[in-house]
Amino acid sequence: MAKNRSKSELTPLEKVAIFLVSIGLETGQRIIALMDTSEINAVVPQIRSLTEISPEMQGIVWDEFKELGYEAQMNPVETLTVIRFLFNGSRIRYPY
């Protein structure tokens, strides 16, 4: 993943992958455990493809999730709901 891409250059799936990595392994795993098989099949390879996430890119993605309504105290179900807002409130899918 390029270090200096803008928010608009990232796909929704890339944003989800960056977000899940950014919130930490344990929390990310709890959210992934709530996804259906097709969502997992879309998200996990994207996470694995991340090579480097610049602090700036992480901040851009984090800010977007806050705009979508994410709050740190949310439980995994609520967080997955916010993640799905990137896909118009439906399940995570590829292609978008």
Per-residue pLDDT of the chain (96 residues; tens, 9 = 90+): 445 555 568 999 999 999 999 999 999 999 999 999 999 999 999 999 998 899 999 999 999 999 999 999 999 999 999 999 999 878 887 765
Residue in this structure with the two tokens 């997955």, named with its chain if needed: 80
For the entire predicted model, the pTM comes to 0.86
Q: Distance (Å, rounded) from C-alpha 78 to C-alpha 1? A: 27
3-state SS assignment for residue 82: helix
CA R_g for the chain? 12
